[in-house]
Chain A
Amino acid sequence: MKMNFLKAMVFAGAVALAGCSTVPTTTPTLDEARADFVAANNNPQVATYAQMEFKQAGEALDRANQAAAQRESLDTIDRLAYVAKQKIATAQEVAKAKAAEAEVANAGRERDRVQLEARTAEADRAKRDAAAAQAQAAAAQAQAQDAQAQAAAAQQQAAQQADRAARLEALLVELHAQKTERGMVVTIGDVLFATDRAELNANGMATVKKLAEIMTQNPDRTVMVEGFTDSTGSAAHNKDLSERRAASVAQALVGLGVPRERIGMRGYGEAFPVASNDTASNRQLNRRVEIVLSNAGAPIPPRAAQR
């Protein structure tokens, strides 16, 4: 296009030299058309989108330049320059329109892309929200299950406790236990021992077994095993016998699995009679082993004064 322009100028010059006049003439309109042509030639959009229109504009400008070179009337030069000017402007407008159309197509594609992006983000967000809600629901469910399990455990514990209490009650009734301020007292009479000996017989062993069961089921209780005799015989012998019988019971409890540290043991001999020693039946009452079962979690207070 630049070449065309240059050619046109050279040609115009040549024609001017060879034509009717030696001095080329021009008009303001022709000057404007020439300037517009240079501007259009420098517009890359024109080269891309309006080649045909620009070519036609160049040809119109050539005709105007020829007319100027041939010193035709100013009116004719102006007229041709005007047409060239309009054609150059047309090329500029065509280029502008096509560039805008290209932009429209581009913007449309870009909008589709952004919309897709937005929908993808929205979907991701929804997914994340759903996952969070699900997690929350799961957590709530787990919490409810925990609470339920806890309640069930508490219920079970309560039931166990009640069951244990009932069993303890039943066993204590079976053992004819007496409630005292020191705790429940189970008395093993001397008929459960071989005469003048410390070994438990089968019935005595059965009683001790029940006691061991109570101890196992109530780990917060301790026992104090206390041996007593009647006043027959020497005090030293009686003390020894009472200690051996208490030890025998304690040993039997240990043998049945009761920890040693939960068993206290003491022999009192002929002290603390429960009856006067003047009749055989009363003396038999005094020959005994008392097993004091502590209250839950409490120590056994020491034997105080004679009761």
Chain B
Amino acid sequence: MDTKSMNLLMRVGAAAAVLSLAACASPEKTPATAAVAVSHNAVENAVTAGAPELAPAEISAARDKMMRANQALAAKDYKTARELAVQAQADAKLAQSKANSAKATAAADALNEDLRVLRQEVDRANSDQQQ
């Protein structure tokens, strides 16, 4: 095999590699600043909703991914930054909805308990009267 044919083979190989990449995966080239900003917002909303107390695992996962997304952004690894931002956003939204549902469930439980006690009192008052 001569150098010319070797060169051709390498070219074809490179073209094939480029084609295969273009066919099965689309590399990210644009900065992921917007995606990272959106996920940052989502994390802040979750914290406001009480996620650090009510969904600690989810919010710390979101924060960790946020941090790594920022790092990737700084390193101009936009693909990774975007992927991490999307995951951080999903984690943050789950943390926020978990916090909300925990609060709403607690409120409903407390009200139902109040109601139970109130009903008991009313029943007792009524049965006292009948004696």
Does B associate with A?
yes
- Interface-side segment among A78-86, A177-185, A219-227, A245-253: A78-86
Q: A79-B83, A86-B93, A90-B93 are in contact. Are A107 and B112 (CB under 8 A)?
A: yes
Distance in angstroms between the alpha carbons of A110 and B100 in the assembled complex: 23
Interface of chain A residues 235 through 269 with chain B (CB within 8 A) = none
**Bound-state Cα–Cα, A93 to B51, Å:** 13
Residue A111 interfacial (CB < 8 Å): yes
Mark contacts of A31-57 with chain B using CB atoms, 8 A cut-off: 1 yes-contact digit, 0 otherwise: 000000000000000000000010000
Interface size class of A (residues with CB under 8 A): 35 or more
CB pair A90 B25 closer than 8 Å? no
A96 at the A/B interface (Cβ < 8 Å)?
yes
Interface size class of B (residues with CB under 8 A): 20 to 34
Task: Give complex CA distance A101, B118 in Å.
Answer: 20
- Bound Cα distance A147, B118 (Å): 49
Cβ-defined contact, A103 with B90, below 8 A: no
Chain A, 82-126, contact with B by CB distance < 8 Å: what is the 0/1 string? 110011011001101110110110011011001101100110010
Question: A20 near B24 (CB under 8 angstroms)?
Answer: yes
Report the Cα distance A96→B55, complex, angstroms.
15
Decide: A107 and B24 in contact? CB cutoff 8 A: no
Shortest Cβ distance from residue A29 to the other chain B in the assembled complex, whole angstroms? 12
Contacts of B108 in A (CB 8 A): 100-101, 103-104, 107
A207 at the interface (CB under 8 A from B): no
B105 in contact with A110 (CB, 8 Å): no
Name the B residues within 8 Å of A115 (CB-CB). 118
* Contact assessment for B94 and A103 in the assembled complex, using a CB-CB cutoff below 8 Å: no
Chain A residues positioned under 8 Å from B122 (CB to CB): 114, 117-118, 121
- Interface assignment of B87: CB less than 8 Å from any CB of chain A: yes
Residues of chain A contacted by B34 (CB below 8 angstroms): none
Q: Mark B95-125, 1 if CB is under 8 A from A, else 0.
A: 0011011011101100110110011011001
- The distance from the CB of B106 to the nearest CB of chain A, in whole angstroms, is 8
Q: Which residues of A contact B107 (CB under 8 A)?
A: 100, 104
Q: When the two chains form their complex, are residues A79 and B87 in contact, meaning their CB atoms are under 8 A apart?
A: yes
Binding site for B on A (CB under 8 A): 19-20, 53, 60, 70-72, 76, 79, 82-83, 86-87, 89-90, 93-94, 96-98, 100-101, 103-104, 107-108, 110-111, 114-115, 117-118, 121-122, 125
Could you jot down 25 A-B contacts, CB within 8 Å?
A: A20-B24, A72-B25, A79-B87, A82-B87, A86-B93, A87-B93, A90-B93, A93-B94, A93-B100, A94-B100, A94-B101, A96-B101, A97-B103, A98-B104, A100-B101, A100-B104, A100-B107, A104-B104, A104-B108, A111-B111, A111-B115, A114-B119, A117-B122, A122-B125, A125-B129
